[in-house]
Amino acid sequence: MYQKHSPYYIVTLILHDQDNDISENVSLLNQSLNELGYKSDFVIHTEPLIRKKEDFSHLFPNQRRGLFTKLFVFLKKSDVVYKTFLFDKRDFDKPLKLQGRIAREISLFFRENLGFFLSFDNVILYYDNGQHELTQILNNVLATELLNFDIRKVLPKDYKLFQAADLICTLSLLEKKLKEGTLSKSEMLIFHNERDLKRQFLIPLEKKRFVK
């Protein structure tokens, strides 16, 4: 349900044609993390990174921005595209209504781009089943819209694209807050100013958006 500190629900799908190898980009990201003293399975979770929480509570702003930037560069260089769905929780008085809207929007996306998805031998969903409702929605959408699909449970530490999806959700939220003029002090501390946020992150991200 709506809470002042969490007014939106955001889902991002990263679409990757696995004929396009991104292993070198993964290796470069791992190498850069190793150089900073982190193991390759270190998870860059962008919300606590910006808030200076959890594994990032001891880091200076520039160190946190550096980690954010490394994950963003990995995303930018990888041959992938994305689709984000953003929902304002204030539009729904019950969780079931929000769940229904999420299901409809994702189903419509698959239906409108069915030719794209059917061009592959198989479609594989990678998800950690972190949210039961979203897991159920995704499973039902795939079963309804596609003939050939597979589902694999993953952990964020093992899949850099999973972390990149989290990053895109964060940037989508920042873009929304930028338009509303509600960016927080902790967010501005990481991204310096609105111009830098747009020029260095939001504009380059737009080039990765899925287009029919």
Question: From first to last of its 212 residues, what are the pLDDT tens digits of the chain?
Answer: 777 778 999 999 999 999 999 999 999 999 999 999 999 999 999 999 999 999 999 999 999 999 999 999 999 999 999 999 999 999 999 999 999 999 999 999 999 999 999 999 999 999 999 889 999 999 999 999 998 899 999 999 999 999 999 999 999 999 999 999 999 999 999 999 999 999 999 999 999 999 97
Structural element, H or E, at residue 20: none
Domains in the chain, number? 1
Please indicate, yes or no, if residue 186 is contained in any of the structural domains. yes
Query: Has residue 212 been placed in a domain?
Result: no
The verdict on residue 50 lying in a domain is yes
Does residue 150 sit within a domain?
A: yes
Q: Specify the pTM.
A: 0.95
* Lookup: tokens for 122: 């198989």
In a domain? residue 36: yes
Q: Is residue 211 situated within a structural domain?
A: no
- For 137, the domain range is 8-206
Q: Is residue 2 part of a domain?
A: no
Domain-embedded: residue 157: yes
Q: Residue 128 phi/psi, 5° resolution?
A: -95, 5
How far apart CA 202 and CA 99 sit, in angstroms, is: 28
Domain containing residue 185: CATH number? 3.30.420
Per-residue 3-state assignment (H helix, E strand, C coil) for 37-79: CCCCCCCCCHHHHHHCCHHHCCCCHHHHHHHHHHHHHHHHHCC
